[in-house]
A = this chain, B = another copy of it.
Amino acid sequence: MKKYKFIKWFYVILLLIIPWRMTAQQEVIQQIFREALTDYTAYNHLQWLTEHTAGRICGTPEAAAAVEYTYQLMKQMDLDSVWLQPVQVRSWDRGEPETGRIISLNSGVIEVPVTALGWSIGTGNNGITAHVVEVRSKKELQRLNRDSVAGKLVFFNQPMDPAAISTFSAYGGAVWQRTNGPVLAAKLGAAGCLIRSLSIEIDDIPHTGITRYQEGVPKIPAVAVSTRASNMLSRMLKSEPGLRFYFRTTCKEGPEMNSYNVIGEIRGADHKNQFITIGGHLDAWDTGQGAQDDGGGCMQAIEVLRLFKKLGITPRHTIRAVMFMDEEVAQRGGQMYAKTADHKSEVHLAALESDRGVFRPMALAVSGNKKQMNNLKKWAPLFKPYQISLVHGGGGTDVGPLKKYYPDLLLMGLIPDDQRYFTLHHSAADRFETVNRREMQLGSAAIASLVYLFDQYGL
Q: Hey, which bits of chain A sit against chain B, CB under 8 A? A: 33-34, 37-38, 40, 162-163, 165, 167, 200-202, 360, 362, 385-387, 417, 419-420, 423, 436-439, 442
Contact = CB atoms under 8 A, between A and B. Distances in A.
Given A38-B162, A419-B438, A436-B423, A387 B362 contact: yes
A386 B165 contact: yes
Minimum-distance CB pairs A-B, first 7? A34-B163, A419-B438, A38-B162, A37-B163, A420-B436, A419-B439, A360-B419
Contacts of A420: 436, 438-439
A150 to B, nearest CB: 35
A419 B362 CA distance: 12
A419 B387 CA distance: 12
29 contacts: A33-B163, A33-B165, A34-B163, A37-B162, A37-B163, A38-B162, A38-B163, A40-B202, A165-B385, A165-B386, A165-B387, A165-B442, A167-B438, A200-B438, A201-B437, A201-B438, A360-B360, A360-B417, A360-B419, A362-B387, A417-B417, A419-B436, A419-B438, A419-B439, A419-B442, A420-B436, A420-B438, A420-B439, A423-B436
A422 to B, nearest CB: 9
Nearest to A422: B438
Contacts of A34: 163
Contacts of A360: 360, 417, 419
Contacts of A162: 37-38
Q: Give the interface centre of A360, A362, A419 by most chain B CB atoms within 10 Å.
A: A419
A168 to B, nearest CB: 13
Contacts of A387: 165, 362
A427 to B, nearest CB: 15
A420 B459 CA distance: 34
Contacts of A438: 167, 200-201, 419-420
A114 B112 CA distance: 44
A442 B38 CA distance: 30
Given A37-B162, A38-B162, A201-B437, 11 more contacts: A37-B163, A38-B163, A165-B387, A167-B438, A200-B438, A201-B438, A362-B387, A417-B417, A419-B436, A420-B439, A423-B436
A33 B419 CA distance: 14
Nearest to A439: B419
Contacts of A33: 163, 165
A387 B38 CA distance: 28
Contacts of A40: 202
A354 to B, nearest CB: 17
A388 to B, nearest CB: 10
Contacts of A202: 40
Nearest to A202: B40
Q: Give the interface centre of A38, A360, A438 by most chain B CB atoms within 10 Å.
A: A438
Contacts of A167: 438
Contacts of A37: 162-163
A200 B442 CA distance: 14
A201 B435 CA distance: 13
Contacts of A200: 438
